[in-house]
Structures are given as C-alpha cells and as structure tokens.
Amino acid sequence: MIKERVCGVFGIIGHEEAANLTYLGLHSLQHRGQESGGIACSDGTVMRRQIKMGLVSEAFKRNALQELPGRTAVGHVRYSTAGSSDIRNAQPFVLDYAHGQVAIAHNGNLVNAGDLKKKLEQAGSIFQTSSDTEVIVHLMARSGQPTTLGRLVEALSQVRGAYSLLVMADGKLFAARDPHGFRPLVLGRLKDAFVFSSETSSFNLIEAEFIREVEPGEVVVIGDSGLTSSKPLPKKPKKFCVFEHVYFARPDTTFDEQTVYHARIELGRQLAREMPTNADVVIPVPDSGVPSAVGYSKESGIPFELGLIRSHYVGRTFIEPQDSIRHFGVKLKLSPVGAVVNGKSVVVVDDSLVRGTTSRKIVKMLRAAGAKEVHLRIAAPPTTHPCFYGIDTPTRSELIASNHTVEEIARYITCDTLSYISHDGLMKAVNGQDGGFCSACFTGDYPVELSGGANPIIPLRKRIETDG
C-alpha cells in the first residue's frame, strides 16, 4: 500500500457534450490524482476553464459544466505533492501567446525542464507556474514554425523525459507520447468524436470504442479533416511504467492487451509459487491488494478471507487530534476482523512496500486481534530507487528497501516472514520478459539520463500566495 500518485489526462473533440464527457472521463481517472481537477473547453472562439481543488465528483457542480460550452475539451486530474497545493499549478493550463490560445494537460515529468526554464528566463520569458509543463508552451511561443504542430514538435524535440500530453489549440486536439512511452495514452472513438485518455477504463464508462494506444513517439492531430499521425521524434525503446500494472491503474483497464486485474491475479499466483507458505488463511490489504491475494489463494489453496476492513470514510482531510490519540491514523482506515484472524497463521498480501510504516502497524493490529503468525507477501520487488518520470515517490533515504536487507525490513515490520516477488517473476506476470517496461524503481536502471543530478522538479517556492 504505497502513497504514490501520478496524474491523468482526458480529451475529446467533436462532441456536443465535450465538458460533460470530460467530467465523466476524469471521474474514471480519479484514482490517478485527487488534489485537483480541471477542464478546459473550446467552443471554437473562446476557451473557458474550470479548475477545482479536490475530487472531481465533489468539486464540480452542475453549473460548472454549464459554463463550459463547446465541442472540444481537455481535462486533468493531479496528484498531491507534499505540502504544496498551489492552485496555480493545477492543469490544464490555458495560455495566450502570439498565435492565440493553447490549453495543455500533461502526465509525466520532464527531466531537463529546470535547465530549459533557466535559459528561457534568461532570454526574457516570465513563467506563471512551477510546473515543468509550462516549459513546453514557452518553447512553442519562441518557435518560428508556422503551424501549431510545427511549434509543438519543435518544443518536444527539446525536452527529455516522460510525457503523455494533450494540447488543444487552433480548433484542433493534439496528443503526444514521449519516445519511450513511459506513461499510458489511449485513443478511442465515440460516434463522430475522438477521445484520448490515460486509461481504457474511461472508454468503458462513456461507452466509447477503444481504437488503439497512442504509440511511443507518436503525435496525433485531430482536426476538421479527421486524424493525422506522425512520428517526428527519434525512435527509442519502449519503456512502459510497470507500476501502472502493479498499483496505479484501475483493475478494469487494459494496457497492450493485458487487463490489469489479470496481471495482479498473476502476481499473486507467481508470489505463491515463488514463496509457498504454510498458513491458515490469506488476507489482502484492501483495496489494492485484493486481486493479488485472490491469486495467491488460488495458487496456494489457502482460503481467502477479508481479515482487514477498509473504511470508505477516510477522507483527505483527517484532522489530527491531541497527542494522546494521534496514532489512530491507520486504524481509522483499516480494522482487523478478530473472528477471521484470531488464533490463525495469516498470509497478508499487499501490492508494494515503500516505507514500511503502514505494514508495521498492520502487523501490530493483526497480532492484537489474535493472529498467531503473520507472513507478509509483497506483489512487487523491493522499491529501491525513486522515480523521475512522473511518480511522486519518496527520496531514496526514505525507501526502506534501498538501505535494508529483507531480513532487516521483516524485523522492523515485526512480521514472522516477509517476501517479495522477484523481478523476473514480476516481468513474467506482466508479460514483460522481453522488455518494454521501465522498472527503474526496482532496479535503478533509468532509461532517460537525469539532468546533472539536479532535482528535475522546478521549485517556485519564493512566491507564496495564501488565502488568509
């Protein structure tokens, strides 16, 4: 159960209900980011934007959507970075430049954004946000290319890193994916409209037909004359983020013909094969650990039970009461079912293990409820390296597996045994034996070189805007 988050993007062109469908699309991508949601819509003349902090379903009221007329829209849900909830960084951005207006929504992270921003500022540019995404628009503004596509390609040829990008400008909708294809981006059709989304689960919801993935390095343009596609950037090996299968994506989403639910069932089965355990009962850490626990139970034959109940009511705004009761955090979210674990040897299946603090509390909770033995099984390899391609991971020093052995971790967590799936087992489960995945967080093998070791996140810390 890790705390990492990514972002989600959705776009549509050619539908009377563009804003409504984008709202639904963001709803289906909500698990990718809960900090803020935004929709920008164009009616051909005017771009309008609504940006809201919080959940799409709670923040967008009916009249918000009514104020967004038009047949083209892009939307974005954003993850929550520690301590910063500056609405200036909420996407989509809508910017005016010499060639009109541009709306942009971005999932990913550019590793050379800091360098580019510095150069642009030295040439006189003024940035509005601390987001790496804004760099792309400034590069477009500085481009001498005569078309929007030309300016976008010129900008993309200067950036390095991960991006699945939607750009609305000039009456067209542009979709671009970086040459490695780190982040997902899929193309679909709803009657006469084209739709793009981070996940196919959006298409299930709005009853759109899945056409295909936007390919790594591809730029798709939808305009009045339909769809055109090009691959203007140097080809690179595919490096799709394996963590999408492990944790981020919804179980009903499909990437490259593999459904995430089945990948997770396979992870559980593989885990049972690699590390068989003699126990009375298999219980998941809900909700993300459930499919792997089902898979583990199937393969091992140990009965599956719900030994931990997850509250639906742990919001994003839990107050921290007085010291005397501060340690209730995890207990509010998860409660053991005494009758299931009491006197039993229990296998606990979780999707990943980052810092270890939550796992430690779960083990303590299960023992207090009477569990005789607690065997922790993780459906991912040890997370040893931070991600620089769009996931908000802790620094290396906080990743428990980067500086401790499995035995040390087990001791810290106080479980009887701990085991992780192997890297090979992971690749087998996601059909990635022949490559095609980025698993740098487990291996440290980064496909795109970082920018001089500098933090690729551009800080805009000095200017503080508060609400009094």
Our CB check for a second copy shows the closer of 154 and 398 to be 154
**Window 359-418: residues binding a second copy (CB under 8 A):** none
**Window 180-239: residues binding a second copy (CB under 8 A):** 201, 204-206
Report whether 353 contacts 378 (CB < 8 A). yes
Our CB check for a second copy shows the closer of 124 and 234 to be 124
**Window 81-110: residues binding a second copy (CB under 8 A):** 94-98, 100-101
Instruction: State the Cα–Cα distance between residues 162 and 109, nearest whole angstrom.
Output: 5
Of the candidates 435, 419, 7, the one whose C-alpha atom is nearest the C-alpha of residue 199 is: 7
Q: How far is the CB of 260 from a second copy (least distance, A)?
A: 9
Our CB check for a second copy shows the closer of 235 and 327 to be 327
Task: Read off the tokens for 158.
Answer: 């200067």
Instruction: Work out which of 223, 232, 251, 394 binds a second copy, going by CB under 8 A.
Output: 251
Q: How far is the CB of 196 from a second copy (least distance, A)?
A: 18
How would DSSP label each residue in 210-278?
EEEEPPTT-EEEEETTEEEEE--S------EETHIIIIIS-TT-EETTEEHHHHHHHHHHHHHHHS---
Instruction: Work out which of 7, 9, 13, 51 binds a second copy, going by CB under 8 A.
Output: 51
Q: How far is the CB of 405 from a second copy (least distance, A)?
A: 33
Q: Which residues are catalytic?
A: 7
Of 1-9, 233-241, 284-292, 418-426: span binding a second copy (CB under 8 A): 284-292
Instruction: Work out which of 154, 252, 274, 280 binds a second copy, going by CB under 8 A.
Output: 252
Q: Are strands 417-420 and 373-378 parallel, antiparallel or unpaired?
A: parallel
HSE on the CB side for 69, CA within 13 Å?
4
Report whether 181 contacts 162 (CB < 8 A). no
Q: How far is the CB of 138 from a second copy (least distance, A)?
A: 6
Determine how many CB atoms are found less than 10 A away from the CB of residue 433: 11
Number of shown-chain residues binding a second copy (CB under 8 A): 101
Instruction: Work out which of 81, 228, 230, 287 binds a second copy, going by CB under 8 A.
Output: 287
Q: How far is the CB of 313 from a second copy (least distance, A)?
A: 4
Per-residue binder mask for a second copy (CB under 8 A), 14-33, x = binder: --xx--xx-xx--xx-xx--
Of 120-128, 169-177, 274-282, 387-395: span binding a second copy (CB under 8 A): 120-128
- CA distances, 162 to each of 32, 86, 118, 230, 250 (Å): 16, 23, 20, 18, 21
Q: Are strands 193-197 and 8-13 parallel, antiparallel or unpaired?
A: antiparallel
How would DSSP label each residue in 273-302?
HHS----SEEEE-TTTTHHHHHHHHHHH-P
Of 54-62, 236-244, 269-277, 400-408: span binding a second copy (CB under 8 A): 54-62
Of 46-54, 105-113, 350-358, 432-440: span binding a second copy (CB under 8 A): 46-54
Element (H, E) at 197: strand 193-197
Q: How far is the CB of 52 from a second copy (least distance, A)?
A: 7
Our CB check for a second copy shows the closer of 290 and 438 to be 290
Question: In sequence order, which residues have a C-beta less than 8 Å from that of residue 423 and are 6 or more positions away?
Answer: 381, 439, 442, 443
Our CB check for a second copy shows the closer of 107 and 254 to be 254
Q: How far is the CB of 297 from a second copy (least distance, A)?
A: 8
Instruction: State the Cα–Cα distance between residues 436 and 135, nearest whole angstrom.
Output: 28
**Window 429-468: residues binding a second copy (CB under 8 A):** 460-466, 468
Q: How far is the CB of 26 from a second copy (least distance, A)?
A: 10
Our CB check for a second copy shows the closer of 252 and 280 to be 252
Our CB check for a second copy shows the closer of 89 and 439 to be 89
331 is an interface residue for a second copy by CB under 8 A: yes
Question: In sequence order, which residues have a C-beta less than 8 Å from that of residue 303 and are 6 or more positions away?
Answer: 280, 281, 282, 297
Report whether 281 contacts 370 (CB < 8 A). no
**Window 289-318: residues binding a second copy (CB under 8 A):** 290-291, 294, 298, 303-306, 309, 311-315, 317-318
